[in-house]
Amino acid sequence: MRRRILLLVGATVLLVLVAFAVPLATLVRTFAEDSAVSAATSQARSLTPTVAAGDVAAATPVVQGADAADAADVSVFLPDGTILGAPAPRSPLVRLGLLGQSAATEAPGGRELVFAVQGTPSGNAAIRVFVPDAELTRGVARSWLLLAGLSLVLLAGGLLVADRLARTLVDATTDLSEVSERLARGDLSARADARAPAELGVVAGALNGLAGRISELLREERENVADLAHRVRTPLTALRLDAEALRDADESARISAGVDGVQRAVTGAIEQARRRGGEGRSADAAAVVRERVEFWQVLAEDTDRAVTLDLADGPLPVGCAPGDLAACVDALLGNVFAHTPDGTAFAVALGPLPRGGARLTVSDHGPGLPPDGDPASRGVSGGGSTGLGLDIARRTADATGGRLVLGTAPGGGLQADVELAAPAAERS
């Protein structure tokens, strides 16, 4: 596109320059010829009275002075055959002048002008002025060079202006294309430059508006699904506790398996909503953990659980999306409620790591890990837990470059330490 604009502007400017420069160059040459001929004519007319007087002695120095005054050759042909001034042949034009007729014609090497002088005492005389080509074209070459230089400057200026305009248009078009591709790949933060020229700026503004509207709709969808999923988790946890309280072990296992299936579906809905929402890969761990702990404290009060909190003040940036971190916290706290009896106390601590990021610790006073160390068989319910919550926490930690460490809490229960690394841009 840029090359085509340059070619179009260059061709247009060149045509305009040719249309003006060629006639102007011809006019300059014509003006130079006319000036030289006019000067020669004036010189010949100034000699006419002297030649008409017929005094050869008086006319000789005057004619010689006129001949030496400029580059034109001045000759006077008297009726008796005498030639005054520059030597010259008796050309047909001179013979015509001696007959009393003035004329001018092109001659080899220049232009010949003959002026008839009548009324001399001895008959007709003729004044011949020969203007060489160098005199006829004096200053023409320089004028043509100036004209050509000016034309080149105008052409270069036109191309420069066209190049800047084309670059602006091409850059704006390329920016629109790149933004469109980023939006197509799911990067809803991409925005075009609305300051683009003319209609491109209008298109950029419309594209930005569309991207903003899509982001808003996806954000609303993600929040609605995530909020619904989080609300469902609380009754699911209560349902799991009720299932574990059943006396029939088979019935309890069947209901617990169904609860686990619903739990997996809810977790999948949260993750799907988060992926489609295009969240950024950075979150304030202090704000997210505090918000989720406040959510779970309501259920803790209903189940007579004492909660110990040690949450550092933020911000504590970590390299995962807010939704991922919220799912991790929900998974760990849901694990406590699912695998410890009512009234079991638990603690939540959050603090910074030495190299950036944060460490989230969730510990309880429950039965802890089973002897075989399999988190899936933790607890006394026999509900057949799948260990899905700990897997969510592990994947969240791994995604940031951190890790999940399971151990025994000081009170004898399970302690889960989730190390969350800082965002890549902030790692030292």
Q: Tell me the pLDDT band of 381, cut-offs 50, 70 and 90.
A: very low
**Token match 């003959």: residue?**
114
Nearest to 60 by CA among 41, 37, 78, 40: 78
CA distances to 173, 219, 242, 336 from 179, in Å: 10, 20, 52, 45
Say whether 292 sits in a helix, a strand or coil. Answer: helix
Cβ–Cβ < 8 Å for 338, 367: no
CA 89 to chain centre: 77
Nearest to 221 by CA among 277, 275, 279: 277
pLDDT tens readout for residues 287-315: 999 999 998 888 888 888 999 999 998 78
Cβ–Cβ < 8 Å for 1, 170: yes
CA distances to 34, 227, 267, 321, 372 from 274, in Å: 88, 12, 11, 8, 35
List of domains in the chain:
2-140 (3.30.450), 226-426 (3.30.565.10)
- Ranking 20-29, 255-264, 298-307, 415-424 by mean pLDDT, the lowest is 255-264
The C-alpha atoms of residue 378 and residue 364 are separated, in whole angstroms, by 13
The C-alpha atoms of residue 196 and residue 193 are separated, in whole angstroms, by 6
CA distances to 89, 132, 334, 348, 420 from 397, in Å: 112, 98, 17, 17, 5
Q: At what angle do helices 322-339 and 285-302 cross, to 10 degrees?
A: 30
- Between 271 and 96, residue with greater pLDDT: 96
Dihedral of the alpha carbons of 32, 37, 42, 44, in degrees to the nearest 10: 150
Q: Mean pLDDT, to the nearest integer, of 20-37?
A: 89
CA distances to 269, 320, 324, 390 from 399, in Å: 19, 7, 10, 14
The C-alpha atoms of residue 300 and residue 309 are separated, in whole angstroms, by 13
pLDDT tens readout for residues 116-144: 998 788 888 999 999 998 888 888 889 88
Whether 408 shows a pLDDT value over 50: the answer reads yes
pLDDT of residue 375: 52
pLDDT tens readout for residues 237-292: 777 777 777 777 777 777 877 777 777 677 666 666 655 554 557 889 999 999 99
Two tokens at 138? Answer: 């004096």
CA distances to 27, 170, 252, 309, 369 from 379, in Å: 108, 66, 14, 23, 8
pTM over 0.85: no
Nearest to 302 by CA among 258, 363, 343: 343
pLDDT of residue 363: 92
pLDDT of residue 113: 92
DSSP calls for 24-72: HHHHHHHHHHHHHHHHHHHHHHHHHHHHHTT-HHHHHHHHHHHHHHSSS
Q: Tell me the pLDDT band of 418, cut-offs 50, 70 and 90.
A: very high
Whether 362 shows a pLDDT value over 90: the answer reads yes
Q: Mean pLDDT, to the nearest integer, of 13-30?
A: 87
How many C-beta atoms surround the C-beta of residue 9 within 10 A? 19
The C-alpha atoms of residue 256 and residue 377 are separated, in whole angstroms, by 13
- Ranking 39-43, 47-51, 165-169, 295-299 by mean pLDDT, the lowest is 165-169
DSSP calls for 295-321: HHHHHHHHTT--EEEEE--S--EESS-
pLDDT of residue 427: 58
- Ranking 117-121, 143-147, 152-156, 224-228 by mean pLDDT, the lowest is 224-228
- Between 220 and 107, residue with greater pLDDT: 107
pLDDT of residue 275: 55
Q: Residue 244 burial by CB count (10 A; 0-12/13-18/19+): exposed, middle or buried?
A: buried
Backbone angles phi, psi at 78, to 5 degrees: -85, 160
**Sequence-separated (6 or more) residues with CB below 8 Å from residue 268:** none
The C-alpha atoms of residue 190 and residue 168 are separated, in whole angstroms, by 20
pLDDT tens readout for residues 202-213: 888 888 888 888
Instruction: List helix spans (H) across 130-278.
Output: 133-136, 140-184, 198-244, 249-277
**Kind plus residue range of the DSSP H or E element containing 105:** strand 103-107
- Between 247 and 389, residue with greater pLDDT: 247
How many C-beta atoms surround the C-beta of residue 343 within 10 A? 10
Question: Residues 195, 201, 205, CA angle at the centre, nearest 5°?
Answer: 95
Report the relative pairing of strands 307-311 and 346-352 from DSSP bridges: parallel
pLDDT tens readout for residues 342-360: 888 999 999 999 888 999 9
Strand partners, 76: 84, 127
Cβ–Cβ < 8 Å for 49, 30: no
